[in-house]
Chain A
């Protein structure tokens, strides 16, 4: 099953991380959580790994509508965006919010999931400009 969309960038990790947060902010998503998985796993289990950060992006208006339809939808919130190093590149992966409609099977959730999908797609579209010419459209 397809559940995420992905961009590969060649800019430095920290630049991409800031660009991701800015791109999602421009679409109405705040950064609720920011988990440095590399540092966490290093301190907890001594794991050595490439940089790996999970940004929890939340659009309050969409989250509010989704919880009104299905209170349990919180298990899929916020929208996780992964920024990770791989073979010298930085990969950005975002969950497809369309999953919210698929998982619940709710007709009422479908328009909310579609709205979320469009905003996430727009945010990744902004990052695409960075991939193509090194600039960021914000």
Chain B
């Protein structure tokens, strides 16, 4: 398992975060909720999606994709604004083709939102930051019965 180093937005302390873990990461220095934005590999994907106690936004992207570069800062911002309430997991489809194949991703960027291990919403194509925010809000506030129940995590 790999770790990611995240700086605390409040006190700027560097914190090492595991990719796979449950709970809400907090800064070891000031105990503020930390933004949880991690690069995820194929081996880690199921555990990241299933073990998270907060919703997980999976961003499927590639380095050569212009629209993917457009939304990268917005997702980083989202992980800061929703620290403790949302995890952002980035999947590079060039390195992890097995994940994009399993999720049947044909266009990038594709954002998939998981709650409790189940896919609840999917957005294909880059959106401005405010519309990504609205999309997440709408998906999380939708009644469970109206959400898509297709699970992207294998059992």
Contacts and interface: CB of A to CB of B under 8 A. Distances in A.
Interface of A: 1-8, 10, 91, 93, 96, 98, 117-118, 120-125, 127-128, 131-132
B126 interface: yes
30 contacts: A1-B100, A1-B106, A2-B100, A2-B105, A2-B107, A5-B65, A5-B66, A5-B68, A5-B108, A6-B108, A6-B109, A6-B124, A6-B125, A7-B67, A7-B125, A8-B127, A10-B131, A98-B64, A118-B64, A121-B65, A122-B66, A123-B66, A125-B67, A125-B69, A125-B70, A127-B66, A128-B66, A128-B69, A128-B126, A132-B129
A121 B126 CA distance: 13
A4 B126 contact: no
Given A2-B62, A6-B109, A132 B70 contact: yes
B1 interface: no
Given A2-B93, A8-B126, A91-B125, A124 B107 contact: no
Nearest to A95: B107
Contacts of B60: 2
Nearest to A128: B70
Contacts of A125: 66-67, 69-70
Nearest to B127: A8
A117 B64 CA distance: 7
B70 A3 contact: no
A2 B62 CA distance: 10
Contacts of B106: 1-4
* Best-surrounded residue of B67, B70, B105, B108 (most CB of chain A within 10 A): B67
Interface in B101-126: 101, 105-109, 124-126
Nearest to A123: B66
Nearest to A6: B125
A117 B94 CA distance: 14
The 8 closest A-B pairs by CB, nearest first: A6-B125, A128-B70, A124-B66, A125-B66, A121-B66, A8-B125, A6-B107, A4-B107
Nearest to B93: A2
A87 to B, nearest CB: 12
Interface string B6-17: 000000000000
A5 B105 contact: no
A101 B9 CA distance: 43
Given A98-B64, A121-B64, 14 more contacts: A1-B100, A2-B100, A3-B106, A5-B65, A5-B108, A6-B125, A6-B126, A7-B125, A93-B125, A122-B66, A124-B65, A128-B67, A131-B127, A131-B128
